[in-house]
Amino acid sequence: MRQYEIRWANLPLPIGARPMLLLTRTSASAYLTRVLAAEITTQVRGISQEVQLGVRDGLPRPCAAKLDNVHLVSLRAIGDFIAILRPQRVIEVKRALGHALAWPELMGL
């Protein structure tokens, strides 16, 4: 597993199975039992705390990674690989996380 991959995850109900954007650094996933991941949903709000994704990002339809809705997810719950973000999208993720956490240092990337 690598940072900025999109993978299926089986989360507890009521969330259930959904794509998740992995945020934990790649080197840490070898020894952690849980990783930090952002939910991806088709409910796109167009706010600064989300990154809009779609077909060019390996997903079947328009959706958004919600950086104001992150979870610690057990590695056992992480499933199949969907895609990995392009470098420009990684910058957008950092900016959205800066907005979600009110970190001005990341907001203006």
CA distance 37 to 67: 9
Percent of the chain with pLDDT over 90: 85
Distance from C-alpha of 96 to C-alpha of 17, rounded to nearest angstrom: 23
**What CATH number matches the domain at 5-107, 2.30.30.110, 1.10.3720.10, 1.10.10.10, 3.40.1160.10?**
2.30.30.110
Question: HEC states along 60-79?
Answer: CCCEEEEEEEEEEEEHHHEE
The domain ranges of the chain are 5-107
State in Å, rounded, how far the first CA of the chain is from the last one.
Answer: 25
DSSP reduced 3-state for 30: helix
> What's the confidence (pLDDT) of residue 109?
63
pLDDT tens digits along 84-99: 999 999 999 999 999 9
Letter for the amino acid at 20?
Answer: M
